[in-house]
Amino acid sequence: MLATPGPLPTGGDWAYEVKWDGARALVHLPGDGGVLLTSRTGRLVTDSYPELGALAVPGLAAVLDGEIVALDETGRPDFGRMQQRMGLTRPAAVRAAARAYPVTLMLFDVLRLGGRDTTGLPYTERRELLERLPVDVPQAAVPPYWPPGLGRVAMDWTLDRGLEGVVAKRVGSRYEPGRRSREWIKTKHVRTVEVRIGGWVPRDEGERALRSLLVGVAGAVGLRYAGSVGTGFSERESALLAELLRPLDTPAPPFEDSGGIEVEQPVRWVRPVLVGEVEFLEWTRGGRLRAPVWRGLRGPPEVVPY
């Protein structure tokens, strides 16, 4: 069951949970002391997270839903660390990564318990089952939730702690396996930043539309490259931007450190006079925008000191 993105729902029948920034996983506990983990796409990922073998409780047969996260020293999920765990299969590599960045499983739902399908039960009843589970290991947690009426509180609380956002769940809803449902609504804390366009990748030879924008933010001595943005603009905006960018052509990258930019596609550099707004999740360790979305041009084109 997947959440639909949207504004925070309010009203008497929504409960709220933290939106954990990691990798979604289903935990299969056959009851014989084994553990199997599957990813959102159904891939078997057990071998990548050996420490989660600790979840096995002899006699407990269940299927649970949760998010695998790699917490930093402050207890906040660090997606960069998580990425260093995902996809690893070589035992030596897995061991080394597990020692450096151990993961925790945040459990938030029960799909089967003791051979019984629990997906038909309402959210609140599944939560009760979840909280009564005899899973008591440091590698797993059952984070609390906020009852109806406290949606704003949940948003403020998660914002204060630098968490990604909130997932609202309708208290009477059943679990819908494999589906994206409106009974779960995810609301992210979005950040925006003002950027200058320093280059672009045309969609084709005609250069009448764009594939992506290369943007920068104010750096120490000039424009610092912040990554490329490939979504958020409609067909119309794409055409308009291409039209505005074509006359701004310049031979060299306008960024202060052009060495770090790796683009295999044909890039057109431009004088960085166009200012726009980009919505993004967070800054990566390398100073790039994570999950950037173009939100539009801001203000008139300006003559800039770069």
Partner DNA sequence: TAGTAGGGGCCCAATTTCAT
Partner DNA sequence: ATGAAATTGGGCCCCTACTA
Active-site residues, by number, are: 19
Q: Which is nearer to DNA, 133 or 255 (CB)?
A: 255
89 binds DNA (CB under 7 A): yes
208 binds DNA (CB under 7 A): no
CA 103 to CA 265: how far, in whole Å? 36
Query: In sequence order, what are the residues at sequence separation of 6 or more whose Cβ sits closer than 8 angstroms to the Cβ of residue 304?
Result: 196, 272, 273
In the complex, least distance from residue 104 CB atom to DNA, rounded to whole angstroms: 16
Each residue 94-123 as x (binds DNA by CB under 7 A) or -, in order, gives: ---x--------------------------
Query: In sequence order, what are the residues at sequence separation of 6 or more whose Cβ sits closer than 8 angstroms to the Cβ of residue 265?
Result: 201, 211
**Of the ranges 103-111, 175-183, 252-260, 266-274, which one interacts with DNA (CB under 7 A)?**
175-183
Each residue 51-80 as x (binds DNA by CB under 7 A) or -, in order, gives: -----------------------------x
Q: Which two tokens stand for residue 183?
A: 């009974």
Q: Which is nearer to DNA, 222 or 230 (CB)?
A: 230
DSSP calls for 92-139: HHHHHHHHHS--EEEEEEEEEETTEE-TTS-HHHHHHHHHH-----TT
CA 12 to CA 187: how far, in whole Å? 18
**Of the ranges 84-92, 134-142, 147-155, 250-258, which one interacts with DNA (CB under 7 A)?**
84-92
**Of the ranges 70-78, 126-134, 249-257, 282-290, which one interacts with DNA (CB under 7 A)?**
282-290
Q: Which two tokens stand for residue 71?
A: 């917490």
Question: 52 with 67: CB under 8 angstroms?
Answer: no
236 binds DNA (CB under 7 A): yes
What is the Cβ-side half-sphere exposure of residue 204, based on CA atoms within 13 angstroms? 3
Query: For binding to DNA (CB under 7 A), which residues are involved?
Result: 5, 23-24, 39-41, 43, 45, 80, 83-84, 86-90, 93, 97, 179-180, 182, 186, 188, 201, 203, 211-212, 227-236, 264, 281, 284-286, 288-293
